[in-house]
């Protein structure tokens, strides 16, 4: 393997595949923002790098699989983490039977419930950020937009984003998949929490329609 291979360049960070101490790893480097004062930019990047690595650890403690963090370099806003062997749920959804989809999305709902129960909001719940391993485990990746919060608003936004992601990417199965997510979520968070989330999602969608109509 070359020293490092760029596999994804996003708005916030670049991901490189690398061999690090004889391990296949992902190196995530946050990108500087030219519009910020350099000193402030460095501080913000370091804070976000530190927060992301800490939240990934807390997610593990909550029972949600995430990549192992091997090294954090705050000076260069870089995280070296485990490369997860498997496929994005987005890539394999069309190959699944209805029962398999229901099982997978119920499991995803339970994992989201575990995050929220621990006060963690992922911030980018899409099927691109969920890896199905060969052992059948689901690993959540990319906690770059995650935060620690107990607010229903943040949880609602988290699941609303997931609903929109499913509808835009897997529209043929959107209803059954999101229902399975909510079923799994309810197993962890309970009926009251699901009712609150559905109310919040409806409110968010009303806001969106209002802004569009203006």
Residues 156 and 125 sit within 8 Å (Cβ to Cβ): no
175 is catalytic: no
Q: Spot the catalytic one: 124, 175, 183, 199.
A: 124
Q: What are phi and psi of 25, to 5 degrees?
A: -130, 165
Q: Is 82 left (phi over 0), alpha (psi -120 to 50) or beta?
A: beta
- Cα-based torsion angle of the residue sequence 33, 39, 44, 47 in order, rounded to the nearest 10 degrees: 140
Q: Which of 83, 80, 86, 99 is nearest to 138 (CA)?
A: 86
Q: Which residues are catalytic?
A: 124
């Amino acid at each position: 393997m070359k020293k490092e291979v760029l596999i994804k360049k996003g708005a916030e960070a670049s991901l490189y595949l690398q061999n690090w101490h004889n391990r296949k790893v992902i190196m995530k480097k946050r990108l500087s923002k030219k519009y910020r004062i350099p000193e402030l930019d460095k501080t913000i990047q370091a804070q976000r790098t530190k927060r992301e690595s800490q939240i990934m650890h807390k997610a593990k403690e909550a029972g949600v699989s995430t990549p192992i963090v091997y090294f954090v370099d705050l000076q260069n806003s870089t995280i070296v983490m485990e490369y997860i062997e498997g496929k994005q749920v987005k890539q394999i959804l069309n190959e699944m039977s209805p029962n398999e989809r229901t099982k997978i999305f119920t499991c995803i709902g339970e994992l989201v419930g575990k995050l929220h129960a621990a006060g963690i909001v992922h911030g980018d719940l899409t099927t691109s950020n969920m890896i199905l391993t060969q052992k059948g485990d689901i690993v959540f990746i990319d906690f770059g937009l995650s935060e620690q919060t107990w607010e229903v608003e943040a949880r609602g936004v988290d699941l609303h984003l997931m609903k929109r992601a499913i509808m835009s990417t897997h529209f043929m199965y959107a209803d059954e998949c999101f229902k399975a997510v909510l079923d799994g979520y309810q197993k962890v968070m309970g009926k009251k929490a699901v009712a609150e989330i559905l109310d919040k999602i409806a409110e968010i969608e009303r806001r969106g329609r209002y802004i569009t109509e203006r």
